[in-house]
Amino acid sequence: MRIMRGSSNSGVLFVLWMGLVVMMTIGETEGGRVRHYKFDVEYMIRKPDCLEHVVMGINGKFPGPTIRAQVGDTLDIALTNKLSTEGTVIHWHGIRQIGTPWADGTAAISQCAINPGETFHYRFKVDKAGTYFYHGHYGMQRAAGLYGSLIVDLPKGQKEPFHYDGEFNLLLSDLWHTSSHEQESLLINGRGQFNCSLAAKFISTSLPQCQLKGGEECAPQILHVEPKKTYRIRISSTTSLASLNLAISNHKLTVVEADGNYVEPFTVDDIDIYSGESYSVLLTADQDPTKNYWLSVGVRARKPAIPDQVLTALTLLNYKTISASVFPASPPPVTPRWDDFDRSKAFTKKIIANIRSPQPPPPPYSHRRIVLLNTQNRVEGFTKWAINNVSLTLPTTPYLGSFKFKLNNTFDRKPPPENFRSEYDIFNPPVNANATTGNGVYVFQLNEVVDVILQNANQLTGKGSEIHPWHLHGHDFWVLGYGEGKFKAGEDEKKFNLTHAPLRNTAVIFPYGWTALRFKADNPGVWAFHCHIEPHLHMGMGVIFAEAVHKIKNIPSQALACGLTANNGRHN
Ligand SMILES: [Cu+2]
Buried b (16+ CB within 10 A) or exposed e, 248-276: bbbbebbbbbbbbbbbbeeeeebbbbbbb
**Phi, psi dihedrals of residue 103, rounded to the nearest 5°:** -100, 10
Give the whole-number percent of the chain exceeding pLDDT 70: 93
Looking at every residue in the chain, the average pLDDT score rounds to 91
Residue 469 CA to ligand 1 center (angstroms) comes to: 6
Say which amino acid occupies 93: H
**pLDDT tens column, 9-44:** 323 323 333 333 333 334 444 458 999 999 999 999
Q: Pick the more confident residue, 7 or 268.
A: 268
Could you give the percent of the chain with pLDDT greater than 90?
Answer: 83
What whole-number distance in Å separates Cα of residue 374 and Cα of residue 420?
A: 10
Residue 308 confidence (pLDDT): 76
Distance from the alpha carbon of residue 513 to the mean position of ligand 1, in angstroms: 14
- DSSP-based three-state secondary structure for 557: helix
492 CA → ligand 1 middle, Å:
24
Query: Does pLDDT of 170 surpass 90?
Result: yes
Residue (of 5, 530, 558) closest to 275 by Cα position: 530
Report the 10 Å Cβ neighbour count for 423. Answer: 6
pLDDT at 181: 58
Query: What is the mean predicted confidence (pLDDT) over 522-528?
Result: 98
Find the mean pLDDT for residues 517-543: 97
Beta strands 34-46 and 4-5 are parallel
* Cα(242)–Cα(560) distance, integer angstroms: 34
Question: Cα(528) to centroid of ligand 1, in Å?
Answer: 14
State the alpha helices, DSSP H only, in 156-303: none
CA–centroid distance, 5 to ligand 1, in Å, is: 35
What does the pLDDT average to over 499-525? 98
CA dihedral for 475, 476, 477, 483, sign (positive or negative): positive
Residue range 481-508, pLDDT digits in tens:
999 999 999 999 999 999 999 999 999 9
Strand partners, 299: 244
Tell how far the Cα of 417 is from the centroid of ligand 1, in angstroms. Answer: 19
Cβ neighbours of 347 (radius 10 Å): 17
What does the pLDDT average to over 103-131?
A: 96
Q: Beta strands 436-438 and 390-392: pairing type?
A: parallel
Mean pLDDT of 232-260: 98
Per-residue pLDDT, 305? 82
Q: CB neighbours of 553 closer than 8 A, spacing ≥ 6?
A: none
- Predicted TM-score (pTM) of the model is 0.93
**Closest by CA position to 217, among listed 64, 52, 57:** 52
Query: Ligand 1 mean position to 412 CA, how many Å?
Result: 23
> In the prediction, which pLDDT does 7 show?
35
Spell out the residues 6+ positions from residue 140 whose beta carbon is closer than 8 angstroms to its own: 240, 534, 535, 538
Using a CB cutoff of 5 Å, list residues around ligand 1, an ion: 468, 531, 533, 536
Q: DSSP assignment, residue 115?
A: P
Is the pLDDT score of 307 beyond 90? no
pLDDT at 415 over 50: yes
